[in-house]
Structure 1
Amino acid sequence: MPYLTLLRRPFVVRLLAGSLVGRMPSAMAALAIALTLREAGAGYRLVGLATGVFAVAGAIGGPLLGRLVDRTGQPRVLIASAVVSGLGYVLLALAPGSLYGSLGGAVVAGAAAPPLEPCLRALWPELVPEGEVQSAYAVDAGAQEVVFIAGPLAVAGAAALGPAPLALWLAAGLGLLGSLVMATARPSRDWRTRTRDAHWLGPLRSPALLLLLVALFGAGWALGGFNVFSVAYAEQHEVPGGAGLLMPLSAFGALLGAVGYGALRWTADAPLKAVALCAGMAGAYWLVALVPGPAGACLVAVGTGVFFAPLLTVSFGLVGELAPDGTVTEAFAWLVTLIGAGVAAGSAVTGLLLADGTLPAAAALGACGVTGGALVLALSRGRLALPVAVRETTDTA
């Protein structure tokens, strides 16, 4: 079993576990902030503003922290950012009734969120043999789905045990714990980039990487649109558990896709895999646009996730190849940011369309996003497949 062999490698379980624990706050934040502010009597306008500010701050802070890691190493950045982000959650927990306290806490918690995802992905080639790197990325992508299933459950459990701000205290503690576990591991302490990149654009000066990130923005757009579509669908159809069933089913599909892809021996080159997987994801989202009945909707929800995790897995490998020397952590952070930006944009635009449109139109909008991503990958496949030396010569010409 490739996964058992992978997990037996030194430090793999420790680093994966630390990363997952430290990532829990990102999966808890939106619900924890909303419950805390509502318990303090805040209106939905402030709830939406605070959760939006948290997301935007994270999108800005992630690449900046990734650049710091590339220049100074992982431990100091991970621990310092976890402490600062934790203080943001504490401020939110202590002052939920204050406009400035709520927004300030959301900004600090989001912007300083420790870059555990990009740090772990930068470490995988150092932790496992070259032949197991894709399996490692698949495990990482699948574990990410577990985080986004467990995060809301942790918030619900904390809310059941005490006041809503307890979930924010828990998020602060988990972020610091996970960062400490990862930052004190020898591979994290020893990791250094081969060169120190001084270009102000960092990894974004690679046109091939930019094309990949644009395609992933389209995939994120589809995810965000599906989240909003699920709520509207559940209001019009009798689905057990409503949107609370459809969205976890998509995450479950992604987990299945990650496990299946990691065990698969697919010999095609990475750009072709990315095109095929993004096209498969687009096909699943066009099935959503058919707006099937509840049973069909549940099956299609699983299908929307099946292709996403393998697409992430292939993308992780491509980012590692496309990023200029000395920028790999920042490049992985940009991947997280672009997908998150796509989710936010897809959610917002789908919500606006649902105000005046129909379910099929809203679902088709999400499908258009990921279809556009597949077209970008197909048209840029030749550039993505160039050998590194040739690509660098072309990019600097």
Structure 2
Amino acid sequence: MKSYIGVLRSPGAWRFLIPALVARLPFAMLQIGILLLVQWATGSYGAAGLASAAAAIAQAVVGPQTGRLADRHGQARVLIPQVALHAGALGTLLLLAAHGASLLPLTVFSALAGASMPQVSSMVRARWSHLLQGSGRLGAAFALESITDELTFTLAPVLLVAVSTVFSPVWALALALLLVLAGTLVFARVRVGAPTPAPASSRASGVLRLRGVALLAGGAAAIGTVFGATQVGVTSFTAALGQPGSAGAIYGTFSAASMVGGIVYGARKWRWSPSRRLVLLLALLVFAAALPSVAATAPPALTYGFMYAAVALAGLVIAPAVITAYTMVERLVGAEARTEAYTWLGGAIGLGIATGAAIAGRLTDAFGPAAAFLVPPAAVGAAALVLLLRSASLTPIERPGSSNPPDERPAQKALDAQDIVLPPLTASRCPVMNRAPGEARNATASATSIGTPM
């Protein structure tokens, strides 16, 4: 706890942390909010799923580009026009929905709203990297970001659904719009920890061309399938047993276990290099993510208990895996490109969530709930194998602005635990779309309970 207190006492930290928290709540509200809004406007869950998916894909694709612009031109010069564009897109979407517009314009402006969502979470991480570079407190700062992500993605959807239920989805997203405007504008004005803009020439090739980054993005996408497929599997599992309301408690167990796993993992100093830890954690995740499939086929008297235990074990493993993937970004990418790199991993997790949910939904329709839980071990297993075979590409090399040495000699391994971060997961944790209306409604309500990715 002393290291966490030391981080929070960093000069000026609270000045950007508080507005950043306000701005990150709408980030976690957007996709579920669009789902509720479009379903309310059209009466179709299929249309709502399409619009929400458009927002998720646009955010995953465009987010890294805005991260690149922030690295090049500075955070404030990107955030202010970006949040203005987001306000215009989301405001137009609300007006269109309120006046009964057709699906096409609703989908277009949903995509624009997703593409223009300010990437505040990645920018906070970039500020910590700049502010505490070379400090033993950097790991604690990233661990705090992990906790913030978990809380944001747990509480924000609850607030959104509550306002939607009492008033309407229009008012819920209007609240999100006000929060993102206020939080982002204040955050942009606070310059504490803001990285110095990098010259354009140093950014010409793009982050994905840097050593190991594309491999990490692939691993992050595989991790994302755990969230998406587990969400589908749990929703269909509880619905098949006639107790759809219990899905929320199971999701909560998964999220709580993920938070505990992340906190415990981040509090320790590890002698193994991050690359070795990542491969090992992915191997463990293959096993842990397959356990819910076994639980779904257990005898009725035992199946619920087994399911709670299975998702808890998966949650305990997945947070350290995500943390280690983000650790590697800080080690592999120089300070001039980290914002973009963080958004690439967050976008990859989001795409993994969407892909895992889509595949799991089709398998569930064809073979039942247990089949949905087979998607994560297959995806994560493939990623672990690729990373094992290409592990040399994950060895850090010395870069300008990096706080890490070019090798991984034993004397340096104590530094490995200093680079710990949990992503904005997911900015795409949206509920399953390929469900019948009644099930989709349950999935939407249950999605408010799941946090981890971001």
Q: Indicate whether the TM-score tops 0.5.
A: yes
Q: What CA distance in whole angstroms lies between the structure 2 residues aligned with 1:178 and 1:299?
A: 38
TM-score by length of 2: 0.80
Give 3-state SS (helix, strand or coil) of 2:271's partner: coil
Q: 1:178 to 1:258 in 2, by over 3 A?
A: farther
> In the alignment, residue 300 of structure 1 is paired with which amino acid?
A
Q: 1:352 to 1:197 in 2, by over 3 A?
A: farther
Structure 2 residue aligned with 1:74: 75
* Structure 2 residue 346 is matched with structure 1 residue 336: yes
Cα distance, 1:359 vs structure 2? 2.9
Contact 1:142 1:309 in 2 (8 A): no
Structure 1 residue aligned with 2:273: 269
Contact 2:274 2:328 in 1 (8 A): yes
> In the alignment, residue 30 of structure 2 is paired with which amino acid?
A
Contact 1:289 1:367 in 2 (8 A): no
Deviates more, 1:62-71 or 1:296-305: 296-305
* Aligned mate of 1:221, from 209, 225, 244: 225
Structure 2 gaps, min length 5: 297-302, 400-404, 408-454
Q: 1:193 to 1:145 in 2, by over 3 A?
A: same
Cα distance, 1:16 vs structure 2? 3.1
Q: 1:39 to 1:387 in 2, by over 3 A?
A: closer
Contact 2:225 2:353 in 1 (8 A): yes
Q: What CA distance in whole angstroms lies between the structure 1 residues aligned with 2:61 and 2:12?
A: 30
Structure 1 residue aligned with 2:430: none
Q: What CA distance in whole angstroms lies between the structure 2 residues aligned with 1:236 and 1:277?
A: 32
* Structure 2 residue 202 is matched with structure 1 residue 192: no
Cα distance, 1:198 vs structure 2? 5.3
> In the alignment, residue 179 of structure 2 is paired with which amino acid?
L
* Structure 2 residue 108 is matched with structure 1 residue 98: no
> In the alignment, residue 310 of structure 2 is paired with which amino acid?
V
Q: What CA distance in whole angstroms lies between the structure 1 residues aligned with 2:318 and 2:397?
A: 26
Deviates more, 1:110-119 or 1:287-296: 287-296
Q: What CA distance in whole angstroms lies between the structure 2 residues aligned with 1:391 and 1:6?
A: 26
Q: 1:38 to 1:125 in 2, by over 3 A?
A: closer
Cα distance, 1:160 vs structure 2? 3.7
Structure 2 residue aligned with 1:162: 167
Q: What CA distance in whole angstroms lies between the structure 1 residues aligned with 2:383 and 2:214?
A: 12
Structure 2 residue aligned with 1:139: 144
Q: 1:70 to 1:386 in 2, by over 3 A?
A: closer
- Size of the aligned set, in residue pairs, is 391
C-alpha distance after superposition, 1:31-84 (max 9, x if no partner): 222222233243222211111111111112101111110111001211221221
Give 3-state SS (helix, strand or coil) of 1:186's partner: coil
Q: Report % sequence identity.
A: 29
Cα distance, 1:228 vs structure 2? 0.8
Cα distance, 1:143 vs structure 2? 1.4
C-alpha distance after superposition, 1:365-389 (max 9, x if no partner): 2211122222233223333124336
> In the alignment, residue 21 of structure 2 is paired with which amino acid?
L
> In the alignment, residue 10 of structure 1 is paired with which amino acid?
P
Which aligned pairs between 1:268-287 and structure 2 lie closer than 5 A? 268-287=272-291
Structure 1 residue aligned with 2:381: 371
TM-score by length of 1: 0.91
> In the alignment, residue 65 of structure 1 is paired with which amino acid?
T
Q: 1:18 to 1:282 in 2, by over 3 A?
A: farther
RMSD: 2.3
Structure 2 residue aligned with 1:87: 88
Give 3-state SS (helix, strand or coil) of 2:68's partner: helix
> In the alignment, residue 43 of structure 1 is paired with which amino acid?
S
Q: What CA distance in whole angstroms lies between the structure 2 residues aligned with 1:363 and 1:300?
A: 11
Structure 1 residue aligned with 2:28: 27
Q: What CA distance in whole angstroms lies between the structure 2 residues aligned with 1:339 and 1:181?
A: 28
Structure 2 residue aligned with 1:112: 116
> In the alignment, residue 57 of structure 2 is paired with which amino acid?
V
Give 3-state SS (helix, strand or coil) of 2:269's partner: coil
> In the alignment, residue 172 of structure 1 is paired with which amino acid?
L
Give 3-state SS (helix, strand or coil) of 1:30's partner: helix
* Structure 2 residue 379 is matched with structure 1 residue 385: no
Cα distance, 1:326 vs structure 2? 2.8
Structure 2 residue aligned with 1:395: none
Q: What CA distance in whole angstroms lies between the structure 1 residues aligned with 2:205 and 2:361?
A: 33
Structure with the higher fraction of residues in helix conformation: 1
Q: What CA distance in whole angstroms lies between the structure 2 residues aligned with 1:197 and 1:329?
A: 17
Q: 1:268 to 1:13 in 2, by over 3 A?
A: farther
